[in-house]
Structures are given as C-alpha cells and as structure tokens.
Amino acid sequence: MSEPEVDLDAEKYEKHREAGQILAQVRDEAADRLEVGMGYLEISEWAEDRIRELGGTPAFPVNVSVDEEAAHGAAGPGDERTVGEEMVKLDIGVHIDGWLADTAVTVDFSGTPELVEAAEEALDAALETVEPGVETGTIGAAIEEVIDGYGYNPVVNLTGHGLGHWEQHVPPNIPNRAVQQGTTLEVGDVVAIEPFATDGSGKVSEGQQEEIYSLEREASVRDRNARKALEQITEEFQTLPFATRWLDVSRPNMALRRLKSQNIVHGYPVLKEDDGKLVSQKEHTIIVTEDGCEVTTASE
C-alpha cells in the first residue's frame, strides 16, 4: 500500500507556521536590540513578553549562551549578569497550542565574524540538501563540509531534531557531521536544523549552571511548595522546558531541588566547549515539502 498523502494545509502545520512567523520577528528584533551591557534577564524577559504580545507562548526559556557555552545558558531569578564583548547565542522557541518553532542566532561582540558566518553558511547548505528521501547523514555532511572549509569544527555531540506536539526534541536527529546511518526525511516532517561551529575540539560537556528544567513524570509530592510548583508545571508547561524564574512559588530553587530528587523533573545543564574557545550557532525550523522545504522561521 502507498503512504497516504500528507496535507500540508492541515491545522497543525498552520500552527507551526504561525509560531514560526512570530518567532522570526522576535528573533530579529531581539538580535537588533542586544548590546554590550544589557542584562541576560532583560533581553530574555523582553523576548518572552514580545512572543506573548504577538499571540504566541514561549516554548522554552530564552537561551543566552556566551563564548564557550553552546546551549542551555539561561537567566536565573534576579540574574544580574550582563553581556560583554562576547559571542552571544540567542536560542528562542514559540508554540501555538503545543505546535512548535525553534530558532537561534549568534550576535557577535567578540570580533570573530568568520565563526558566525561558518554556522550561517552551514545552515544554508543544509537547507539546500533537504527534500523527501534525503538521509539526515547527507545533511550533516553538508554542514560539516562548510564548517571545515572555514577551518573550524562542527560541534558533533549536538544535533538538530524533530519537533513534536508539546515535545521540543523528537526523532529524527539531524547531525552536524556526516554519519553513515541516518534517517530518511519524509514530506510533512517538521525539524529544526542547527549547526554549531567552534574553534575548539567540537565536543561539548556539561557545565555547573542549570536554570532550565522539564517534567519527567507526574507523582505525588508531600512538600506543599513543591506540590504547588508541580501543579503549575503540569498545567502550564506540560512536557516543554521551563525556567526556574517562571515558577510562581516561594523558594522556587528549593521546590525544584525536591522535584529533582524524586526524578519528577530533570535539568538541562549549560553545555560548553573548553574554556577560552568560542561557539557560534544558527538554527531554523522547516517543514519538509514535496519539492524541498519551507522555512517557517525565515525573516519576512
């Protein structure tokens, strides 16, 4: 039997597109707004509020990852850190009724424009390879070739990913290097492709900082404050990542420690290259179409 045709005008795809349009606008405005001396909390709350203003909901906390940090840097409650002459990655997500878009841009104050260009061109090359039937390893090879050509390394233990309903990371993974065994993309797949380029080794490891969490499982909790936090998590965020600072409870860090100790939530530590190295990132969300792909997070 042949596969049924995918209706790319279905409601879920329209919601993916709406999320992408809002996100593209917020990403571009946030990148224009960002400057040296601006607080992590200020740019994060501005972007999250702007998403809501435009009719979307943040799909995860704004990631502000600098220099050797590749991902999961985020502002904590009352965070006083400010952006310096650094390489800043803004990774932002939007959902409409749980249908997602995910994008990232690098704003460089470090004076290393070629590293930013490497990630941007790698994403362009990746998008050109996308069509029904393409292997994800072929996309990874296109990314790796561009970044290698700049004399840098792709970050090989971070990947792009599929976007599900209320799920930020689902199969298939989109590697940032050539791999032998990949997955074949099909019409209707919604994926985020996100090359990372670095002047480091090309492998990230977990740092100490952890400000982003998501629900692992539901369970009964004795502590009243932790129970209140869990109610908010299950109702408001479901399985999507959330920030400590989003919790409307007293002592949110304590509540999260209790939930984490019972394996009810898990954290996302900052992922970083070696100290003194730099990482750039560029990410778009796409829908695979009959003749290529539609970039839902493209600028207007």
What pLDDT is attached to residue 5?
A: 86
Could you tell me the pTM of the whole model?
A: 0.95
Predicted confidence (pLDDT) at residue 244 exceeds the cutoff of 60? yes
Predicted confidence (pLDDT) at residue 283 exceeds the cutoff of 80? yes
What pLDDT is attached to residue 264?
A: 98
Judging by DSSP bridges, how do beta strands 153-154 and 196-198 pair with one another? antiparallel
At residue 3 the predicted structure's pLDDT band, cuts being 50, 70 and 90, is: low
Predicted confidence (pLDDT) at residue 36 exceeds the cutoff of 50? yes
Annotated active-site residue in 48, 86, 91, 189: 91
- Give CA–CA dist 277/271, Å, rounded: 13
Q: Is omega for the bond preceding 132 within 30 degrees of 0, making it cis?
A: no
Mean residue pLDDT across the chain? 96
| One-letter identity of residue 107 | V
Note if 199 is an active site residue. no
Predicted confidence (pLDDT) at residue 208 exceeds the cutoff of 60? yes
Note if 300 is an active site residue. no
Percent of residues, the chain, with pLDDT higher than 90: 97
Annotated active-site residue in 18, 68, 102, 210: 102
Predicted confidence (pLDDT) at residue 10 exceeds the cutoff of 60? yes
Note if 169 is an active site residue. yes
What pLDDT is attached to residue 247?
A: 97
Phi, psi of 86 (to 5 degrees): -130, 170
- Give CA–CA dist 94/129, Å, rounded: 25
Is the distance from CB of 99 to CB of 165 less than 8 angstroms? yes
- Give CA–CA dist 244/251, Å, rounded: 10
User: What would the pLDDT profile of 77-111 be if each residue is shown by its tens digit?
Assistant: 999 999 999 999 999 999 999 999 999 999 999 99
Annotated active-site residue in 16, 95, 161, 284: 161
Question: What number is the average pLDDT over the span 104-123?
Answer: 98
User: What would the pLDDT profile of 41-75 be if each residue is shown by its tens digit?
Assistant: 999 999 999 999 999 999 999 999 999 999 999 99
Contacts of 19 (CB under 8 A, 6+ apart): 56, 59, 94, 95, 96, 99, 100, 101, 296
Predicted confidence (pLDDT) at residue 257 exceeds the cutoff of 80? yes
At residue 2 the predicted structure's pLDDT band, cuts being 50, 70 and 90, is: very low
Annotated active-site residue in 68, 72, 283, 284: 283
Predicted confidence (pLDDT) at residue 1 exceeds the cutoff of 90? no
What pLDDT is attached to residue 4?
A: 67
CA 229 to chain centre: 24
Annotated active-site residue in 135, 145, 167, 169: 169
Question: What number is the average pLDDT over the span 271-278?
Answer: 98
Note if 284 is an active site residue. no
Annotated active-site residue in 194, 199, 211, 273: 194
